[in-house]
Amino acid sequence: MTGDIEQSSRVRFPGISPRAYEHPADRGALAVLRAVPAVAPIIKAVAAAFSERGERLVQVASSVRVGPKQYPDLHRLQNEVAATFDLDEAPELFVRHSPLVNAYTRGIDKPFIVLNSGLVERFDREELRFVIGHETGHAMSGHGLYNTILERLLNLQYALGWMPAGALAMRAVIAALYEWQRKTELSCDRAGLLACQDPQAALRVHLAYAGDIGGQVDIAAFLEQAKEYEGEDIRDSILKLMDNERRSHPLAVVRAAQLQRWAASEEYREILTGTYPRREDDHPTSNLTDDLKGAARSYKESASNSADPLIKTINDIGESVMGAASKVWSKVAPNGPAE
């Protein structure tokens, strides 16, 4: 099988923290939420309407729960990915009947993963390892909680839609959450790569999401599309901004190009050699300044690498906001909330 790596040669990551793979903009936003003691109870209260138990029961009743006797190959992959990330327990895994090539993670207290049958049929073993690693990344980072908040706000927006001021304010919040959500997908693509450690397998998944059927897409030409998409025409910038406002996932060419750059980075190589943040060192208040600075650097690098004038402006704003937040936190941290 193309790109297959023997389990004995695949690196494992004892005690790895989600911060190791989280995109800086994702990590910065999560760090702010995690560091403020009052935020977590409020978020959980808003998310209370989400019936995690009910949604899991729906999967139990309508999907196949992966286990030793049901999809045993997927069960082995599920456990291998959990072992790679040094998890005591793998997230529960279901296969749902659907021709769409898709997967998702749900749940807050006990996240679970759902793979569509069309995806299972389409992907080989290492591609499936990437997908399961990606979804496990969502579970490890706790993205389910904040995605649930976005869903609740979308429902609330309809209730406030008749109020112009309320609708505009809600739209701004929702747009910001969508931007964060797109960054979580970049984070979890990195988690998927750490799980499979095969950049070509990851790229094949992105090609499939874009429309490749039976290996008919030229990789170099596909990645060239990402450069074309960046562009320099302000008219295209506005069109892209409008198109992306309500997207939960980055576009396929963008995801592929971003992940291939990370696969070639020193950061990825260092993780493979054992240099990465550990869960035992995760302290939200003490990590916040570094995470905010990392987010600001990410926006700055993104602006310098993009030819898109509007993207440059947006990234400049993101860099300024994260930089200012870091300075404020540095001043108040000594008297801030206890860890």
Q: Number of structural domains, the chain? A: 1
Across 19-28, 103-112, 150-159, 184-193, which has the greatest mean pLDDT?
Answer: 184-193
User: What is the span of the domain harbouring residue 32?
Assistant: 15-37+56-335
Give pLDDT tens digits for 307-318. 544 444 445 444
Dihedral sign of CA atoms 247, 253, 258, 262 in order:
positive
Neighbour tally for 5: CB within 10 Å: 16
pLDDT higher than 90, residue 225: no
Task: Let me know: does 7 contact 80? Beta carbons within 8 Å.
Answer: yes
- Residue 211 or residue 233, greater confidence: 211
Task: Look at residue 2 and tell me if it is in a domain.
Answer: no
Task: Look at residue 44 and tell me if it is in a domain.
Answer: no
d(CA 301, CA 24): 11
Dihedral sign of CA atoms 75, 79, 82, 87 in order:
positive
Cβ neighbours for 241, distance < 8 A, ≥ 6 positions apart = 310, 314
Task: Look at residue 100 and tell me if it is in a domain.
Answer: yes
What is residue 51's predicted lDDT score, i.e. its pLDDT?
A: 66
| Residues of the chain above pLDDT 70, percent | 60
Task: Let me know: does 74 contact 128? Beta carbons within 8 Å.
Answer: yes
Lowest-confidence segment of 51-55, 125-129, 168-172 by average pLDDT? 168-172
Q: What is the mean pLDDT of residues 312-325?
A: 46
Task: Look at residue 49 and tell me if it is in a domain.
Answer: no
Task: Let me know: does 133 contact 193? Beta carbons within 8 Å.
Answer: yes
Task: Look at residue 45 and tell me if it is in a domain.
Answer: no
Give pLDDT tens digits for 10-38. 999 999 999 999 988 777 766 665 555 55
Task: Look at residue 192 and tell me if it is in a domain.
Answer: yes
Q: What is the mean pLDDT of residues 117-127?
A: 97
Q: Is 306 helix (H, G, I), strand (E, B) or coil?
A: coil
- Residue 314 or residue 224, greater confidence: 224
Across 8-17, 39-48, 298-307, which has the greatest mean pLDDT?
Answer: 8-17
What is residue 226's predicted lDDT score, i.e. its pLDDT?
A: 77
Lowest-confidence segment of 1-10, 175-184, 270-279 by average pLDDT? 1-10
Task: Look at residue 268 and tell me if it is in a domain.
Answer: yes
pLDDT higher than 60, residue 151: yes
pTM listed for this prediction:
0.76
The verdict on whether 135 is a catalytic residue reads yes
Catalytic residue among 135, 151, 230, 301: 135
Query: Mean pLDDT across the chain, nearest whole number?
Result: 76
Task: Look at residue 99 and tell me if it is in a domain.
Answer: yes
d(CA 319, CA 294): 10
Give pLDDT tens digits for 240-293. 555 555 565 777 888 898 899 999 999 999 999 999 999 998 875 555 556 556
Question: Residue 195 burial (CB < 10 Å; 0-12/13-18/19+)?
Answer: buried
